[in-house]
Amino acid sequence: MKSSTLVRNAAGRLVPTEVNGKAQVPYQGVGAFRPEGRKAAPPIRSCRDYPPDGDKRVADLRTALERCGLRDGMTISTHHHLRNGDRVALEVLRTAAEMGVKDLMWFPSASFPCHAPVIELMEQGVVHHIEGSMNGPLGEYTSRGKMRGMGVLRSHGGRWQAVQDGEVHIDIAVIAAPAADPFGNANGVQGPSACGSLGFALADSLYADHVIVVTDHLVPFPCVPWQIQGNNVDYVVVVDSIGDPSQIVSGTTEITRSPDRLLIAEYVARFVRDAGIMKDGFSFQAGAGGIALAFVGFLKELMRKEGVKARFVRGGSTRVLVELLEEGLTDYILDGQTFDLAGVASMATNPRHVATSPFTSYNYHGKGNFASMVDVVVLGATEVDLEFNANVNTHSDGILLHGIGGWQNCLFSRCTILALPSFRDRVPVIVDRVVTLSGPGELIDVVVTERGLAVNPRREDLLEALKGSDLPIRPLAAIKEEIEAILGGKPEPARLTDEPVAVVKWVDGTVLDTIWKVEE
Amino acid sequence: MKSSTLVRNAAGRLVPTEVNGKAQVPYQGVGAFRPEGRKAAPPIRSCRDYPPDGDKRVADLRTALERCGLRDGMTISTHHHLRNGDRVALEVLRTAAEMGVKDLMWFPSASFPCHAPVIELMEQGVVHHIEGSMNGPLGEYTSRGKMRGMGVLRSHGGRWQAVQDGEVHIDIAVIAAPAADPFGNANGVQGPSACGSLGFALADSLYADHVIVVTDHLVPFPCVPWQIQGNNVDYVVVVDSIGDPSQIVSGTTEITRSPDRLLIAEYVARFVRDAGIMKDGFSFQAGAGGIALAFVGFLKELMRKEGVKARFVRGGSTRVLVELLEEGLTDYILDGQTFDLAGVASMATNPRHVATSPFTSYNYHGKGNFASMVDVVVLGATEVDLEFNANVNTHSDGILLHGIGGWQNCLFSRCTILALPSFRDRVPVIVDRVVTLSGPGELIDVVVTERGLAVNPRREDLLEALKGSDLPIRPLAAIKEEIEAILGGKPEPARLTDEPVAVVKWVDGTVLDTIWKVEE
């Protein structure tokens, strides 16, 4: 079933030429693939078939799915803004199971540990396979070759691209909405399950054949802001609860306390200053991890000290970014998702805290996107090699554990920094060859570890700018050798079979690498 | 060239079966036509072909048009938010003339007297024909049979529908933007030429093959709010001035002083109250004409007196609506265009003054739209017959003088009121047969004149609700007879040939009626 011809792509990786019955284009290099044709488009509808009073409510999810014509083999999409608190995605798939439907493709924008029970639905034949990030238990299930179809990992931008380009056709999109009106206008900033933006569901609302909004907070028309437009929505279902607020957003965001990680964060901030990136009108993006948050803290101090103001910062937003905005150290937060309550509250009330979507931020098959306009981005990785190629999907054992998120898309920033401890659980992260290639080294400019900073030799401009800096700039190979000496050698090689179980897509829809079934 | 088979449609009107080389569907009745197929979609683009720093500026309009591949026979679209102050549309067409391009189709969202020089460009062969509202001089030019192609009149919603459904393919959209950044994000609420919303250009930005933003107010990325998204824009052109502010928005809005018109406005307001429409949470829409503004003034008094608050009011907004919002008499203004400076300022700063688009408000080929959720709408007309059929495009002489605007779309409200003086220039407006059918009588519920109010007999519910009202409710025929007695008879019949020069589209893209060439 998973057998497929394998070819070697431009990154030297063996990739299947067909995935889940669809022909694939192997990765051709950064910016090499030229797409053709027109975007996908949903069916033309007519007001004649919708209630003139705008009330699209139906009794329950089952009714909505029935009216959308749910049947075997369809693709159902959900979004992940409710993160590990999501109660809707599983409910949708379980309702499909009750209806006796089989062989669905589940197309989440990401999955979380709360979605582990989808494994049972795959065992029962309700779900055929998943295309979307397969973290934790779902990743391991895939890696062990138990999923009937192949996993397809896409970045946030790549998911938009795949839907927009017609690579993935969504039959029914189910959008969990923290606030909605009976017409289907919906947002994520109001109600008891507020999560911030609903940007990850926007493509689904625009391109799916049928769209269902599920909410636990119904407001009279109009629900403002309408991050999701009711004019794209077929049915509205009101339920008691769409999620567990304590798992949707954390009340507070934790800055790392590890001395090593704090040192890395400080190095990154000083690098941004010393390389001349930190100047009036600049922009940056950092995630919500401990190092990233600490980095923002250090950078904020440097900005204050030198009187520098950013034009915009990219979220995932947290309290740390909100403080930056409120203190006037940035004009705007351009935000794809809010990670804590401070982020949600700010997006709900501050017009300079702007919700973005994967279309504006990340879609590579648009007329440009925001990611390439960001001056500096700070990312993580599980592995990096001496060519600066990096892995975020597997660890050195090759088991699929993480999605891509916006990571690939962010690589297009003017300066991409990987900030990572040089080893984890006594396994070196700088390796001879990354088990999985998630992003090509030519887009990665700097690797920052607690043992020093390595600048990609391609970036002579950065090396030139750093002359005079007292940062410990070192060759990546030197850091690698030092770690191997400390840990007593290289990581154990991953024990993998030659059977592909999932692929990693590049931002343009080509196949960058393959996830292989692990040996039993 | 204009010869075409004529058929009689469901409204009994003779309409051509082909217009500008494209087969047409005759009007089939309200809600009778069922569209098929998928929406149109623009070409898939790639970031590889756009500047990574997001700077899409080119030297001038000619360079932008050249890079968009402008050539003979293409369709160029513009929007009309700058109204009679627009300097961009004409400049685009004149630049095309300089480039030696011929036979263009100009597809404005509306035209104004400032666009009269397009007649010269039609004479020169640069512009082949216009599809869009042809007001004033352009309308008369069309009516005299001088345009090479046929005019196609569409409502605001019908224009969206035509673009969305692929009936009109826009090769190059040129969007005059009061504020924009180098990436092409744009809005209408900032800068010296601020006009409010850019909603009429939204479809163009989404569906055109190529999109050019022209601005006289460049701001650093990001231009917030981005009513037009830079991810849909190819080139940005910075010019000295996109328009004459004094003609874009009026400083103040004039309420009628005519006693007859004030009486009509008062009747309408009392009708809304007496019919039980004016109650907490209700909604209404009225235009920016003198009667409409006076109506809002009267209604506001009644709302204050009875302590009633609206959930939303629809713009075109004016000072009068802004005051309603600021006084707390409505929760929201949902606004398609701002007619005065107070409207622009409010949209720029008040989050409850929400910019809408023809997609959310009017598109009939969506999953519902806002228009049918409005409790009561007050509109004008040039003629109405005893079946409540109405004309907004021509006067009794049959000469094309007005576009449709949102008029057809608004007919879908829960109660549609035509507020009109019973005669103009000593010509009765209640007639045996409207010269041009712009909207079917079954959607028109009430006609209000200074001589009384006539309720469509289909609306028994309204007649029932009005029992006990002291308003002068009368049969429409009685009002008609009274006027004819005063004026000495019916209007002169229009002197028209049997040659079609333009068609009036219905909201679903079918052909509702024909504009005929006038006798010389």
Contacts of A372 in chain B (CB under 8 A): 47, 52-54
CB contact under 8 A, B48 and A41: no
DSSP assignment letter at A413: S
CB contact under 8 A, B220 and A372: no
Closest CA to B175 of B230, B101, B117: B230
Cβ-based burial of A397 (10 A; exposed 0-12, middle 13-18, buried ≥19): middle
Question: Which pLDDT value is given to residue B1?
Answer: 44
Q: For residue B369, give how far its alpha carbon lies from the nearest alpha carbon of chain A (Å).
A: 6
**Residue-wise pLDDT tens digits, B38-97:** 999 999 999 999 999 999 999 999 999 999 999 999 999 999 999 999 999 999 999 999
Cα dihedral angle (A374, A380, A383, A388), rounded to 10 degrees?
Answer: 20
Beta bridge partners of A104: A127
Segment A218-233 mean pLDDT: 98
Confidence bin at B520 (pLDDT 50/70/90): confident
Q: Around Cβ A223, how many Cβ atoms within 10 Å?
A: 26
Segment A322-348 mean pLDDT: 96
End-to-end Cα spacing for chain B: 19
ipTM (interface predicted TM): 0.97
Q: For residue B119, give how far its alpha carbon lies from the nearest alpha carbon of chain A (Å).
A: 35
**Residue-wise pLDDT tens digits, A453-480:** 999 999 999 999 999 999 999 999 999 9
Confidence bin at B177 (pLDDT 50/70/90): very high
3-state SS, B330-394, equals EEEEEECCECEHHHHHHHHHCCCEEECCHHHHCCCCCCCCHHHHCCEEEECCCEEECCCCEECCE
Amino acid at A218: L
CB contact under 8 A, A364 and B39: no
Cβ–Cβ contact B464 with A under 8 A: no
CB contact under 8 A, B165 and A53: no
CB contact under 8 A, B233 and A41: no
Q: Taking a C-beta distance cutoff of 8 angstroms, is the pair A479, A415 a contact?
A: no
**Residue-wise pLDDT tens digits, B10-30:** 999 999 999 999 999 999 999
Closest CA to A234 of A177, A183, A187: A183
Six-digit token pair at A277?
Answer: 């990136």
Residue of B nearest to A166 (CA): B44
Contacts of B171 in chain A (CB under 8 A): none
Question: Strand A235-238 to strand A57-58: parallel, antiparallel, or no bridges (unpaired)?
Answer: parallel
CB contact under 8 A, B231 and A360: yes
Residue of A nearest to B29 (CA): A48
Question: Which pLDDT value is given to residue B3?
Answer: 55
Question: CA-CA distance, A216 to A179, in Å (whole number)?
Answer: 7
Q: Taking a C-beta distance cutoff of 8 angstroms, is the pair A164, A188 a contact?
A: no
Segment A328-350 mean pLDDT: 95
Contacts of residue B104, Cβ cutoff 8 Å, sequence gap at least 6: B72, B73, B74, B75, B76, B93, B96, B126, B127, B128
Overall pTM > 0.95: yes
Taking each helix axis from N to C end, the angle separating B319-326 and B290-306, rounded to the nearest 10 degrees, works out to 20
DSSP A246-303: HHHSBSS-PPP--HHHHHHHHHHHHHHHHTT--STTEEEEE-SSHHHHHHHHHHHHHH
Report the length, in residues, of chain B: 520
Taking each helix axis from N to C end, the angle separating B341-349 and B319-326, rounded to the nearest 10 degrees, works out to 40
**Residue-wise pLDDT tens digits, A253-268:** 778 889 999 999 999 9
Confidence bin at A245 (pLDDT 50/70/90): confident
Question: CA-CA distance, A503 to A514, in Å (whole number)?
Answer: 4
Contacts of A37 in chain B (CB under 8 A): 43-44
Topology match between the domains B45-131+168-248 and B259-494: yes
Residue of B nearest to A46 (CA): B365
Q: B residues 111-140 near A, CB within 8 Å?
A: none
Q: For residue B400, give how far its alpha carbon lies from the nearest alpha carbon of chain A (Å).
A: 29
Question: Which pLDDT value is given to residue B143?
Answer: 97
CATH for the stretch A50-131+168-248: 3.40.1080.10
Closest CA to A350 of A324, A381, A379, A382: A324
Question: Which pLDDT value is given to residue B249?
Answer: 84
Confidence bin at A1 (pLDDT 50/70/90): very low
**Percent of chain B's residues with pLDDT above 70:** 99
Question: CA-CA distance, A251 to A325, in Å (whole number)?
Answer: 19
Q: Taking a C-beta distance cutoff of 8 angstroms, is the pair B113, B402 a contact?
A: no
Which residue ranges make up each domain of chain B? 45-131+168-248, 259-494
- Mutation target vs A (from B47, B231, B285, B413; most A CBs, 10 A cutoff): B47
CATH classification number, B45-131+168-248, choose in 3.40.1080.10, 1.10.8.420, 3.40.1400.10, 3.40.50.10800: 3.40.1080.10
Cβ–Cβ contact B41 with A under 8 A: yes
CATH classification number, A259-494, choose in 3.40.1080.10, 3.30.310.160, 3.90.1150.10, 3.40.50.2020: 3.40.1080.10
**Is the confidence at residue B253, as pLDDT, over 90?**
no
Return the biggest CA–CA distance within chain A: 73
Question: CA-CA distance, A175 to A46, in Å (whole number)?
Answer: 22
Question: CA-CA distance, B237 to B415, in Å (whole number)?
Answer: 44
- Mutation target vs A (from B46, B213, B347; most A CBs, 10 A cutoff): B46
